[in-house]
């Protein structure tokens, strides 16, 4: 079965992203079309990129990098849950992406953003970043406003209409993840 990781892209204390990621996970698991897991960057405990060799070499020296590589490698596609900080994604998510290269290649990703403008600018930055690690990003996104989808900017209360947006995005991520599988197959298979 196709495996999709919902990556929680904030490690900040008091983060809003945990409620968002768990909501996406709950909706996704109702579908039955793929296996969905929550991957929390906080649990990965990645320091600022500390590998001396470029990620494209795949020569990881640190155990935290090897663990992160195994985690990413295990999935066919990703949902990146991102806050918007200073018109971009979080440093923690950018750092986690930068650690690896081959493990991301020929997979698909969708985005769930939250912020004052729904995380739109963070999502746009992530599209370019993910393209560089050879991830195909889908068109449909979910954008949650701190003004309308959070009470007091911190208690997650998503509007019902967002459930349709999550489903549409997941439809695309699953389809693209499955379509890209032949590119990830070992030669001669």
Rounded Cα distance, 63 and 69, in Å: 10
Give the pLDDT score at 187: 58
Give the pLDDT score at 185: 76
Helix (H, G, I), strand (E, B) or coil at 15: coil
pLDDT at 102 over 90: yes
Rounded Cα distance, 117 and 57, in Å: 37
Query: What are 145-180's pLDDT values in tens digits?
Result: 999 999 999 999 999 999 999 999 999 999 999 999
Write down all domains in the chain, each with its CATH number in brackets.
Answer: 3-181 (3.40.50.360)
Where does the pLDDT of residue 110 fall: very low under 50, low under 70, confident under 90, or very high at 90 and above?
Answer: very high
**Residue 168: CA count within 13 A, CB half-sphere:** 11
Query: What are 65-76's pLDDT values in tens digits?
Result: 999 999 999 999
Give the pLDDT score at 41: 98
SS3 letters across 52-104:
CCCHHHCCCCCHHHHHHHHHHHCCCEEEEEEECECCECCHHHHHHHHCCCCCC
């Amino acid at each position: 079965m196709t495996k999709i990781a919902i990556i929680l892209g904030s490690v900040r204390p008091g983060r809003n992203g945990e409620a968002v990621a768990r909501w996406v996970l709950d909706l996704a698991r109702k579908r039955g079309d793929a296996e969905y897991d929550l991957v929390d960057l906080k649990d990965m405990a990645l320091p600022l990129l500390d590998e001396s060799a470029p990620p494209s070499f795949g020569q990881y020296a640190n155990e935290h990098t090897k663990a992160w590589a195994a985690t990413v490698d295990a999935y066919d596609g990703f949902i990146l849950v991102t806050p918007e900080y200073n018109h971009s994604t979080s440093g923690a998510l950018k750092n986690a992406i930068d650690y690896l290269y081959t493990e991301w290649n020929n997979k698909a990703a969708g985005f769930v953003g939250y912020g004052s403008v729904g995380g739109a600018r963070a999502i746009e930055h992530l599209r370019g970043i993910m393209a560089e690690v050879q991830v195909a990003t889908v068109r449909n996104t979910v954008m949650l406003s701190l003004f309308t989808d959070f009470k007091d900017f911190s208690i997650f209360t998503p509007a019902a209409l967002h459930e349709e947006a999550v489903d549409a995005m997941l439809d695309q991520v699953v389809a693209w993840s499955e379509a890209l599988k032949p590119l990830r197959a070992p030669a001669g298979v």
